[in-house]
Structures are given as C-alpha cells and as structure tokens.
C-alpha cells in the first residue's frame, strides 16, 4: 500500500468522523429546541428558524416563535458553545501538559471563578460598590476571578521566560486548594439564601440564557477557539516532548502561552455564564482519542463538536427529567459521564485492539 | 561546519562541561565517547541549542546559534534525544510524519515512505507507538529525525544522535550505522554519542573522548582510539587490536577475573 492511499484514507476517516459529529450536533440541536416543558414539533422548529432568517416556509403559532427565539435558542446555543469550549480546552490542555488526566480546572480557572462568584453572592449586599454592576456583576466577577487565578498560576510557574509544566501543575493544585479554603470561609459567613444560590451556581446551569449572554459568549470564545484549533501541528509535536518539539522548530513557549490563555478565556467565560460544569473537559478528548487516535488535527475539532453534543444532551435531560423543574446540568454531566467513563476504561483494551 | 568554542556549562556551580571546543564537519561521522557523567549529553544539549550556556559559543555554518529562529534551526539540524516518551495513542506513521513539520510544504511525495523503508519501520506504520519494543521505538524516532533532513539541500546540515542504538540488537546497530554512512554523503555532518567502542572504532571518521567535563582527545578514530587513551578515559583495562583493510578493529575490555588471574600467575 502506498503512502498516498494511506494519507488519503486517514483524511477520509477524519472527514467522516467530523461529518458524523456535525450531523449529530445538528440533530441534537433540533431535538433540544423542540423538547422541554413546552414542546414544539421539530418541523415547527425549522419553520421558526427559517422564518427568522427571512425564509418563510410554514405555519407556526406566535407562542411557539417567542418561546423558541426568546428562551430556547439562546439556551441551546449557550450549551453548545460552552460544551464545545470545555471539550476543546480540555483537549488543548491535555496536549500541552502531555497528560491525559488534565482537565481545564487544573490551571485554577474554575476555582478562581467560583471564589469570586461566592464572594459576590455572599457579600454582594453588604458591599455597595458591587451593586453598580447589576445583573452582569456575577458573571463579570467570576470571569475576572478565573483569569486572575490562571495568571497567578502562570506567573508562579514561569522563570526567565520559560514555563515549567510540572511547576504549573503544582501551582494549580496550590491555588485550587487556597481558593477552595477561601470559598469555605465565604460560605461560613453566608446566610441560607446565599448558600443556596452559590450551591446551584456551582452545580452549573444554562437555564438563565438570554441573547446578551450568547453574545458575550461568542465574543470571548470564538477567537480563542480558532487560535487553539490552529495549533494542532504544534500540539502533535509537543506530544513527543518539549525538547523534541523545539528540535522540530516549534516555538514552545509561544504555544504554551497561546494555549493557556485561550483556554483560560474559554473556561473563564463558560464558568462565568453557566457556573462550573465538570467532566466535559476531561472525558470528551479521551473519548475521541480512544475511538479515533491521538492526531490533534482530529482531536481538537472533534472535541469541540462532541463537547457541544454532550452538553446539549445533558441540557435536554436537565430540563425534561423533572419537568417543569430543572436539574442543575453539572449533576447530569457527572452522573452520566462518570459511569460511562468507567465503562470505557474497563473496555479500553477491547476497543483499541 | 558546526563549531563549538570554549563551551562552559555549569549546574549549581559544578562544571559539567569545562571549556570544550570541537568541530563537526559535514560529510563526517563524529562519535563522542566517555564514561558516565563525562558531560557527553550536556555538551550534546548545548550543541543542539536545547541548553543555553553562558560562556562559549556554538555556530552552525558560521552563524551563531542564538541568531537562528527555531524553525530555521530545525532546517539545518535534526536531533534525536536519548528517550522520548509518548502518552497518547499515536501511530508509528503519525510519529514519523512529525519530521515533516519544519519542512512546510517543500518535500517530495515519497519522502516518508523512503525513510521508513530505509529504517525498516514501514511495516510498523499502523502500530501504536506505545506498543513497540525499545529498539523499535528507537528506529521510529530515527526515522522521524531522518525525515527532517533527508532531502538534499544546497547548504550543509547536521544530525545529532544521543545513543541512537542503545536498545538495538547487533544487526540493527550495524544497520543504523550503515544508514548514517549513507546520509553523510548528502553533505550532512553526523554527531553521535555511543557506548559501543567497536562501533565507534569501525564507523567514526572523528572521535572525541570526554572525561569529567573535558575533551581529552579529539581526532581520527585510528589515532585517538588506542589502548593507552581508552584506558585513561575509562579507568579500566582495555585492549585495542588495530584493524586494517581486511579486518575490523576489535576493542576488548578485560574482565576483572582475568586480571586477577594474571596477577596471581605472575
């Protein structure tokens, strides 16, 4: 067999995988738009969307249109972007740390976000200047906290222009512990309402989505997503080792910088808009690698797509299982994700051989 | 020419490489020999640009190392470190393909296949790198670094190998050295750290003997690798049987047992 046919076969496989994932994402989106406390048939969903794009295709009621465009579409888009962003940054950070056990929280972004969020929730009423921000205060604070923590972790691990990856992990662990302790301290002073608020925030929620949030999400996430996707060659080279990547002409420090800060932006935005949603960033890249191999040319975009699919599915379950009430989405991702992951580990060898 | 002048490299004020100077000429195989802790790998890392040393300078084709961008350097020299671990399930083909990275789009369609056939890794192309034996992994890494400089270029280039044959069986060791003989002809200078004195004596054009951070001897293999020099460097009784056109040079290290017996008999 010649090399050309091999490369061709691989390209074809990657194309196929990405195609199937895109298709399933599309199906899940339609499904997610139609299901919920107020159910809308899939055909009507299409009509409403086409109509909103200026292509009238069929009849639908005013109520259907307002539920869909005002409530459900922003929610579905938010779940898609956050899930995709978490999956992608998980893949990028696992590649950067050369460790399949890394998840985005490791660089401190989630705990920093949570710390600032709990401070805002608990002390928001007693600190008057926090009131200026209104409804945007919580996400803004969480975002800043996430970035601040990541910046500290990065600074702690960097010396004379070089970042030591094992120091980075240690610094992340240390700052996560510190943030956890401070969160505990804030909770100690919290009243019942604040406690309940924070608990639900920390379990993750895409329910409060509106077009404003979707706009913010696109604004902060799209650029970093594109940048991370462009680094697939460098990540492949990094997989054999930092020195090896350097010998192959990769500017390793630049790659570290890009991946860390793009991931921090994505996860920081995600945490600030939807709270901490665990597990997606850890298992999605794993799944892709187990099933299709480790080439980042595929792993990166496929992790984005699969992350979007999984979080959208989790969102469907979150709002249908106990309808009309809603489960926090973070519970769903962990309750379904963890056992599935265990099953995957048990069957790991069978799948690969 | 790859030139190193007055390389001085310390770790915690302990000199690892002490004022070493050397030259690597294109078209030649230079072998570095020496006991453990002689500073071979440190010198190697300074030459490759992986370690920066405060004193001394390294230049490739007359241009100082620090004036190269990573990418440009990767087009002039290719490096195979001692160990490369891989935590993700990459296939052999994917690992070798990484050698194409610095080339951009300027390479022939048959490059990978040719290199992989030469290094006997073509049959392994679909295997997972992690499932290979130590010797196979070394062959795959060799294929990767060869890919990086395989195609002919109008300027001299360099291949740096840190113990490339340490996990290989005898036949493969000779196979790798014969590949190196071939790649030399493409105006490429090869530097290899080896532990096998016989391979060094029979294949090297130039030999560098190191001990305690110093280069003690440097020159043609047959003149440098004599009984006296080797015993001084390795602190062990060694006997060199110089070869000629028809016979290879054979270097024997003497076991303690037979030295003791000799002493008793005397």
B245 and A CB contact within 8 Å: no
d(CA B27, CA B157): 9
- The percentage of chain A sitting over the pLDDT mark of 90, rounded to a whole number, equals 32
Task: Count CA atoms closer than 13 A to B245's CA, side-chain side.
Answer: 0
Burial A253-290 (b: 16+ CB within 10 A, else e): eebbebbbbbbbbbbbbbbbbbbbbbbbbbbbbbbbbb
The boundaries of the domain holding residue B244 are: 2-265
Mean pLDDT for the stretch of residues A232-256: 93
pLDDT in tens, chain B (266 residues): 899 998 888 888 888 888 889 999 999 999 999 999 899 999 999 999 998 887 889 999 999 998 999 999 999 999 999 888 888 889 999 999 999 999 888 788 889 999 999 999 999 999 999 899 999 999 999 999 999 999 988 999 999 999 999 989 999 999 999 999 999 999 999 999 999 999 999 999 999 999 998 999 999 998 999 999 999 999 999 999 998 888 999 999 988 888 888 888 87
Tell whether the model's pLDDT for residue A117 goes beyond 60.
Answer: yes
For position A36, what pLDDT does the model report? 77
Query: Contact A233/B101, CB-based, under 8 Å?
Result: yes
**Main-chain dihedrals φ then ψ at residue A108, nearest 5 degrees:** 90, -5
Nearest by CB to A237, from B87, B98, B109: name it: B98
- Higher model confidence: residue A174 or residue A349? A174
B115 and A CB contact within 8 Å: no
What domains appear along chain A, each with residue ranges and CATH number?
74-352 (1.10.3470.10)
Chain B hits for A289, Cβ within 8 Å: 88-89
Q: Which two tokens stand for residue A22?
A: 């895109």
Tell whether the model's pLDDT for residue A7 goes beyond 80.
Answer: no
- Nearest residue to A352 via CA among B94, B127, B134, B93: B127
Q: How confident is the model at residue A309 (pLDDT cuts 50, 70, 90)?
A: very high
Q: What is the CATH number of the domain that holds B83?
A: 3.40.50.300
Query: Contact A249/B125, CB-based, under 8 Å?
Result: no
Q: Which two tokens stand for residue B172?
A: 């493969």
For position B264, what pLDDT does the model report? 86
Tell whether the model's pLDDT for residue A352 goes beyond 70.
Answer: no
Tell whether the model's pLDDT for residue A353 goes beyond 50.
Answer: no
Q: Are B16 and B10 in contact (CB under 8 A)?
A: yes
For position A349, what pLDDT does the model report? 60
Q: What is the pLDDT of residues A12-32, one digit of tens each?
A: 888 999 999 999 999 999 999
* Number of structural domains chain B divides into: 1
Of all residues in chain A, the one with the smallest CA distance to B85 is A240
- Nearest residue to A83 via CA among A269, A288, A325, A242: A269
For position A220, what pLDDT does the model report? 86
Q: Are B54 and B8 in contact (CB under 8 A)?
A: yes
Mean pLDDT of chain A: 86
Which B residues, 136 through 175, put their C-beta within 8 Å of a C-beta on chain A?
A: 144-145, 148
Mean pLDDT for the stretch of residues A230-252: 93
Tell whether the model's pLDDT for residue A1 goes beyond 70.
Answer: no
Which B residues, 39 through 58, put their C-beta within 8 Å of a C-beta on chain A?
A: 48-50
> A96-100 long-range CB contacts below 8 Å, 24 or more apart?
A96/A165, A96/A235, A96/A238, A96/A255, A96/A256, A96/A259, A96/A260, A97/A165, A97/A168, A97/A169, A98/A165, A98/A238, A98/A239, A98/A241, A98/B87, A98/B88, A99/B87, A100/A285, A100/A286, A100/A289, A100/B87, A100/B88
Q: How confident is the model at residue A138 (pLDDT cuts 50, 70, 90)?
A: confident
Residue B141 Cα, gap to closest chain A Cα (Å): 10
d(CA A197, CA A72): 23
Mean pLDDT for the stretch of residues A236-242: 92
Residues 6+ apart with CB under 8 A from B233: B33, B34, B35, B38, B209, B210, B211, B216, B217
Mean pLDDT for the stretch of residues A74-101: 91
- Nearest residue to A186 via CA among A139, A129, A268, A124: A124
Chain B hits for A99, Cβ within 8 Å: 87
Interface predicted TM-score (ipTM) of this complex, two decimals: 0.91
Tell whether the model's pLDDT for residue A351 goes beyond 60.
Answer: no
Which A residues, 76 through 95, put their C-beta within 8 Å of a C-beta on chain B?
A: 95
Mutation for testing the A interface, residue in B74, B86, B87, B129 having most A CBs under 10 Å: B87
Q: Which two tokens stand for residue B114?
A: 């040719």
Residue A100: C-alpha distances to residues A235, B101, B105 (Å): 13, 23, 31
Tell whether the model's pLDDT for residue A130 goes beyond 80.
Answer: no
Of all residues in chain A, the one with the smallest CA distance to B116 is A3
Chain A hits for B100, Cβ within 8 Å: none
Strands (E), chain A: 158-159, 162-163
Chain A hits for B144, Cβ within 8 Å: 240
């Amino acid at each position: 067999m010649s090399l050309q046919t091999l490369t061709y076969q691989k390209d074809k496989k990657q194309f196929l995988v990405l195609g199937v994932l895109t298709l399933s994402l599309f199906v899940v989106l339609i499904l997610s738009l139609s299901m919920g406390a107020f159910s809308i048939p899939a055909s009507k969903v299409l009509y409403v969307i086409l109509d909103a794009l200026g292509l009238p295709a069929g009849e639908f009621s005013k109520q259907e249109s307002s539920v869909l465009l005002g409530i459900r579409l922003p929610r579905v888009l938010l779940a898609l972007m956050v899930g995709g962003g978490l999956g992608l940054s998980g893949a990028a950070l696992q590649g950067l740390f050369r460790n399949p056990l890394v998840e985005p929280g490791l660089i401190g972004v989630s705990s920093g976000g949570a710390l600032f969020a709990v401070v805002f929730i608990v002390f928001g009423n007693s600190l008057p200047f926090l009131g200026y921000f209104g409804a945007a205060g919580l996400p803004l604070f969480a975002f800043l906290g996430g970035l601040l923590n990541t910046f500290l972790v990065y600074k702690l691990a960097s010396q004379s222009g070089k970042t030591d990856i094992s120091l980075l992990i240690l610094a992340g662990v240390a700052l996560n512990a510190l943030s956890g302790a401070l969160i505990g301290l804030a909770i100690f002073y919290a009243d019942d309402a604040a406690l309940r608020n924070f608990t639900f925030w920390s379990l993750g929620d895409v329910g409060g989505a509106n077009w404003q949030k979707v706009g913010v999400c696109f604004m902060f996430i799209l650029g970093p997503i594109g940048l991370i996707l462009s680094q697939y060659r460098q990540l492949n080279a990094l997989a054999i080792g930092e020195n090896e990547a350097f010998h192959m002409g990769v500017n390793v420090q630049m790659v570290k910088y890009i991946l860390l800060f793009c991931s921090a932006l994505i996860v920081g935005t995600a945490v600030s808009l939807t709270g901490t949603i665990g597990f997606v960033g850890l298992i999605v890249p794993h799944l892709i690698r187990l099933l299709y191999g480790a080439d980042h040319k595929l792993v990166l975009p496929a992790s984005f797509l699969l992350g979007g699919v999984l979080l959208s599915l989790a969102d469907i379950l979150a709002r249908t299982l106990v309808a009309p009430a809603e489960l926090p989405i973070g519970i769903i991702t962990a309750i379904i994700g963890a056992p599935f992951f265990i099953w995957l580990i048990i069957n790991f060898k069978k799948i690969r051989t | 020419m790859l030139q190193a002048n007055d390389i001085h490299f310390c770790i915690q004020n302990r000199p690892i490489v002490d004022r070493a100077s050397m030259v690597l000429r294109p078209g030649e195989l230079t072998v570095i020999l020496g006991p453990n802790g002689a500073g071979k790998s440190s010198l190697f890392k300074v030459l490759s640009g992986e370690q920066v040393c405060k004193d001394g300078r390294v230049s490739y084709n007359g241009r100082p190392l620090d004036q190269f961008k990573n990418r440009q350097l990767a087009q002039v020299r290719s490096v195979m470190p001692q160990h490369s671990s891989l935590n993700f399930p990459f296939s052999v083909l994917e690992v070798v393909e990484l050698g194409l990275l610095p080339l951009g789009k300027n390479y022939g369609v048959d490059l990978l296949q040719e290199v992989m056939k030469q290094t006997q890794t073509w049959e392994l192309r679909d295997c997972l790198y992690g499932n290979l034996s130590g010797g196979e992994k070394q062959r795959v890494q060799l294929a990767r670094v060869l890919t990086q400089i395989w195609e002919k270029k109008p300027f001299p280039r360099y291949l740096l190998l840190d113990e490339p044959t340490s996990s290989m069986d005898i036949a493969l060791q000779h196979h790798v050295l014969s590949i190196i003989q071939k790649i030399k002809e493409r105006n490429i200078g090869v530097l290899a750290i080896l532990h096998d004195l016989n391979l060094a004596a029979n294949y090297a054009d130039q030999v560098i003997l190191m001990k305690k951070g110093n280069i003690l001897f440097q020159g043609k293999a047959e003149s440098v690798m004599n009984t006296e020099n080797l015993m001084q460097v390795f602190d062990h009784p060694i006997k060199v049987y110089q070869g000629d056109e028809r016979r290879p040079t054979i270097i024997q290290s003497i076991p303690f047992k037979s030295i003791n017996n000799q002493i008793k008999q005397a």
